[in-house]
């Protein structure tokens, strides 16, 4: 697959900047974004953040840039541009990444990264509990069905005997 990084991005300089502190961004955002990267680390997520000053011609180029950074450094990569977001991760599924992307369109890089991370660290549905509940419900329905059928057969047997032997025959 050919990745198409925006032409105005110096990929080698971006990789070097990300390798330094996990952030490649304009000076005013670096401290706040380093805090987001640190919070991600506390939650077991290896997060790198790249912020672009200019919009890429194609939205897909931000994902390509994230993929290029992730291919070098691994982990999860968030690329934020004006009105655009791209992500890559070698450990988080695409659905979760895209849910995080949806929350990252704020116009403020630090807030966008915070919102993205909030989605990644929020607990998911309790699948074990849901599965256990469904299994118990199926067992209860099957048990109830068996019990009703047994009662019908027993009452049917009595009715059949009474129908055959009411006059003693």
Sheet of 23-24: strand order equals 23-24, 47-51, 76-81, 84-89
Q: Could you tell me the pLDDT band of residue 152, with boundaries at 50, 70 and 90?
A: confident
pLDDT per residue as tens digits for the range 111-122:
999 999 999 998
| Class at the top of the CATH hierarchy for domain 11-121 | alpha beta
Write b or e for each residue in 114-137: b if 16 or more Cβ atoms lie within 10 A of its Cβ, otherwise e: bbbbebbeeeeeeeeeeeeeeeee
Q: Longest C-alpha distance within the chain, in Å?
A: 103
CA quadruple 95, 99, 105, 108: dihedral positive or negative? negative
> For residue range 87-115, what is the model confidence (pLDDT) as tens digits?
999 999 999 999 999 999 999 999 999 99
Closest CA to 72 of 98, 58, 90, 55: 90
Domain extents in the chain: 11-121, 125-169
């Amino acid at each position: 697959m050919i990745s198409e990084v925006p032409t105005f991005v110096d990929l080698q300089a971006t990789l070097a900047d990300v390798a330094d502190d996990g952030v490649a961004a304009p000076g005013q955002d670096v401290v706040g974004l380093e805090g987001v990267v640190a919070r991600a680390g506390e939650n077991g997520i290896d997060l790198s953040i790249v912020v672009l000053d200019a919009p890429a011609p194609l939205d897909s180029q931000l994902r390509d840039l994230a993929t290029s950074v992730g291919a070098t450094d691994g982990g999860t990569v968030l690329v934020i541009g004006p009105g655009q977001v791209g992500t890559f991760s070698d450990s988080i599924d695409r659905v979760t990444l895209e849910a995080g992307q949806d929350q990252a369109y704020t116009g403020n890089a630090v807030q966008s990264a915070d919102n993205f991370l909030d989605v990644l660290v929020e607990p998911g549905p309790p699948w074990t509990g849901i599965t256990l509940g469904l299994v118990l419900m199926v067992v209860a329905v099957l048990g109830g069905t068996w019990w009703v059928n047994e009662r019908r057969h027993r009452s049917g047997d009595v009715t059949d005997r009474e129908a055959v032997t009411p006059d003693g025959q």
